[in-house]
Structure 1
Amino acid sequence: MDEVNFRAGRRASAVHRHAAVAAGTFGVMVDRWISEHFTRPSWSVSDAAAVDELETTDPALAAQTLRLMWGLGEGPLPNIVQLCESKGIRVYGLPSVAKVVDAFSGWSDGTPYIFLSRSKTAERSRFDIAHELGHLILHSATVDSGSEAHHRQEEEDADRFAAELLAPASSVADGLPRHPSVDQVLAFRSRFKVSAMMTAKALLRSSRTDNAGYRRLCSALARRGFRTGEPGGMAHHERSRIFTHIFGTGAGAKRTTADRIAADLSLPVEDVHALTFRTQVHAVNAEPTKTGSSGFRVR
């Protein structure tokens, strides 16, 4: 895999980095196996052409344009894993050894991939997917200069894209008063399935509060445990429709098992489970081989 870029480089050890790269390689193998046995959406030519146009666009405007292209309106996004899958974007999990790497994304033979850890809250997982979608949209043809400034700018762009995609400034302005209470922030948080801290940032971004109000709100949220968790948040991570289908047991439907995939590809079955979220679909504790060119980007 080429041009692997770790956002959490100082926190991620060599073991975590190698595990993430291996997961990407294995994920492409599993993905190709699934494509040979099941029919599912592919990345469309029209979306690919639109990505070329959006790469030079302001990140927030690119997110607004993508919402318009995909008919999402300005309300809360649906299950973002299934939304990506419906557009032909492959979403896979990461093994526990690579959990320090929150997420990464990239392309292989013209197919977009997102890999993510589910070691944090479901709200954070939604943001990670939106962030990686931002990289796929904004930076698919970007040449990495290798400089820290370049890397930092790409991360900021992806964060701005994700924030606008998940909670558009127009929806924040319509849904919250100026200087809202903590309870009002939490109600918006639950409706849009974003973190409380992200909602606070969205208020500042959309001019619904000022710097002093933002600091007060963050302090109040931190006292309630929102700096390190998401009390009262989403009870479960969002599930993949693809994996639910192919591992299902419905009568008369074509199904498979992780053991069969692992055997056919000579992969450890534990890795197939991790990649397909089979061992990671559970309640969230919200409290305190030839793979072709890929160019994966890792956070």
Structure 2
Amino acid sequence: MIFNPSRLKLARQRRQYTIKALSEKVGLTSRMVSEYEKERCSSIPPEKTVSAFAQALNYPESFFFEGELTDQIEQKSVSFRSAKSMKASNMHAAIGAGIIGELLNSYFESKFQLVQPKLPELVGEDPELAASMLRSELALGEKSISNMVHILESLGVRVYSLDENTQAVDAFSFWKNDIPFVFLNTKKSGERSRFDAAHELAHLILHKNDEVQGRDKEREADAFAAHFLMPKNTVLSRTNRFLTVSDVIKLKKNWKVSAMALIVHMKNVGAITEWHYKNLIIEASKLGLRTNEIDGIERERSKLISKMLLILKKHGVGISDIARNLSLPYDEVSSMLFDFEVVHRNENPTRSNKKPSLRLVK
């Protein structure tokens, strides 16, 4: 077996240890740990050192001897909403989650025939028009979207959850080998997670292969998400100049969005005046609606992952078996699978005539 430095680096970054911190935990010099992480390290760590790494990082020893992680995810290809204000450790940990997501996706693709990506090519399109075009393509009309995660999965996007203990990583997305990925932080409210999902969808279809990130791209993604979730005509037809925050809290249920997102969108589409907007924001802030929701919705979960785990369960394969197959810690796998700890055998998901039924590949 050959020790793979890239896997040591991945495990360290996932646990958010600096080289110095890890070296202190395993009783080595920083220089030695750094050497073990080099792509062409001149020395191979002895068995006891590998055991120390495994214990310190809570990763199976076998993980460090699996295939080389040569096809890394480049930081510039990943869309982060607050990239400039994020700590490097948070960013590296999130990108590490993306690599693990790829490993999980490869596992599932080896077992199932998954929907192939079918996202429209809308690079450079106006966000509002792009949102309308996609709604039309999906035959949504102007009705409320019942589940954003399901929409993404119907388009062939691989959606995974994040259990990052930080609000700095809202969500992120990237294309890899023509497969689109979206990762959603489970620390967010259900409403904000829906908006994040629509925001990342915007990056996938409006900014594909665009390595230039910045505020303009984030504004475009926000505009797309708002129009995709809250079509302008429906917002204009349901709002008036006498709206209070209590009215907003009731109205937001129509589109399953946060109160703040609805207030901002009402202003942007001309449903309320600037003065009205400022007053609503002040009132909403006093109620704590910048960070929390009143009468919030449940966080959306993956239907695809639920189906796959159900089928695997019937074949005697659980999350712990998947983790063992990939030589990954159980917590890393379960936290990325929307924490489907128990898959109910009586689940009877509805089938759509537009999508092939999911089946295990033997």
How much does 1:280 deviate? 9.3
Work out whether residues 203 and 209 of structure 1, in 8 Å CA contact, stay in contact via their aligned partners in 2.
yes
Q: Offset at 1:42?
A: 1.7
Aligned to 1:8: 82
Match for residue 24 of structure 1 among 80, 83, 98: 98
Report the residue type matching 2:262 in the other structure: T
Q: How far off is 1:191 after superposition?
A: 1.7
Task: Please list, as runs of the form range in 1=range in 2, the aligned pairs for 1:136-175 lying within 5 A after superposition.
Answer: 136-144=204-212, 151-175=214-238
Q: How many residues align?
A: 268
The change in CA–CA distance for 1:273 and 1:99 in structure 2 (over 3 A counts) is farther
Cα deviation for residue 124 of structure 1 reads: 0.4
CA distance in 1, matches of 2:146, 2:222: 19
Alpha-carbon separation, structure 1, partners of 2:286 and 2:294 = 11
Partner amino acid for 2:235? V
Distance 2:81 2:295 in 1: 29
Q: Matches of 2:81 and 2:263 in 1, distance apart? A: 23
Instruction: Name 2:322's counterpart in structure 1.
Output: 261
What is residue 195 of structure 1 aligned with on the other side? 258
Counterpart contact for 1:245–1:255, Cα < 8 Å: no
Identity fraction in percent: 35
Residue 279 of structure 1 and its aligned partner are, at CA, apart by 6.4
Give the AA of the match of 2:130.
A
What RMSD, in angstroms, separates the aligned Cα atoms of the two structures?
2.1
Q: Cα deviations across residues 112-133 of structure 1 (Å, max 9, x unaligned)?
A: 1001111121100001111000
Over residues 35-75 of structure 1, what are the superposed CA-to-partner deviations in whole Å (9 max), with x where a residue is unaligned?
1112332213xx3xx31xx2121111111111111111111
Q: Residue 246 and residue 22 in structure 1: after superposition, are their counterparts in 2 closer, same or farther (change >3 A)?
A: same
**Aligned match of 1:217:** 280
Say whether residues 1:270 and 2:357 are aligned partners: no
Q: Shift in Å at residue 248 of structure 1? A: 2.7
Rg (Cα) greater in structure: 2
Aligned to 2:151: 83
In the alignment, is the contact (CA less than 8 A) between 1:19 and 1:97 conserved in 2?
no
Q: CA deviation at 1:264?
A: 1.3
**Aligned twin of 2:135:** 67
Whole-Å separation in 2 of the counterparts to 1:263 and 1:117: 24
CA contact (8 A) 1:16 1:99 kept: no
Runs of 4+, deviation exceeding 4 Å = none
In structure 2, what residue type is equivalent to 1:240? S
Is this contact kept in 1: 2:165–2:187, CA < 8 A? no
Name the SS for the 2:214 alignment partner: helix
Spell out, residue by residue over 1:204-229, the C-alpha distance to the aligned partner (whole angstroms, 9 max, x if none).
11211111000011112222221221
Can you give the 5+ residue segments of structure 1 that lack an aligned partner in the other structure?
A: 145-149, 282-299
Q: Which residue of 2 aligns with 1:248?
A: 310
Q: Partners of 2:319 and 2:167 in 1: how far apart?
A: 21
The residue number in structure 1 matching 2:300 is 238
Aligned to 2:247: 184
Equivalents in 2 of 1:262, 1:110: separation in Å?
Answer: 25
CA distance in 2, matches of 1:38, 1:259: 18
Normalised TM-score (structure 1): 0.83
Q: Which residue is equivalent to 1:285? A: none
| TM-aligned CA deviation for residue 176 of structure 1 | 1.9
Cα-to-partner distance string for 1:74-117 (whole Å, 9 max, x where unaligned): 11111111111111111111232465211110111111100111
Superposed displacement of residue 180, structure 1: 1.9
CA distance in structure 2 between the aligned counterparts of 1:105 and 1:73, rounded to whole angstroms = 26
CA shift, 1:181, in A, is: 2.6
CA contact (8 A) 1:77 1:166 kept: yes
Instruction: Please give the TM-score of this superposition, normalised by the length of structure 2.
Output: 0.69
Mapped to 1, the partners of 2:216 and 2:106 lie a distance apart of: 33
- Give the Cα separation in 1 of the matches to 2:127 and 2:336: 29
**Aligned in 2, Cα 1:168/1:69: closer, same or farther, shift over 3 Å?**
same
What amino acid is aligned across from residue 328 of structure 2 in structure 1? L
Q: What's the secondary structure of 2:174's corresponding residue?
A: strand
Label 1:259 to 1:99 Cα distance change in 2 as closer, same or farther (>3 A). Answer: farther
Contact 2:161–2:184 at 8 Å: present in 1 too?
yes
Listed as ranges, the gaps of 5+ residues in structure 2 are 1-72, 343-362
- In structure 2, relative to structure 1, the CA distance for the partners of 1:177 and 1:221 (3 Å cut) is same
Give the letter aligned to residue 299 of structure 2: H
Distance 1:178 1:75 in 2: 23
Aligned mates of 1:280, 1:18 — CA distance in 2: 27
The whole-number CA distance in structure 2 between the counterparts of 1:226 and 1:142 is 34
SS in 1 for 2:328: coil
Structure 1: distance between partners of 2:152 and 2:79: 22
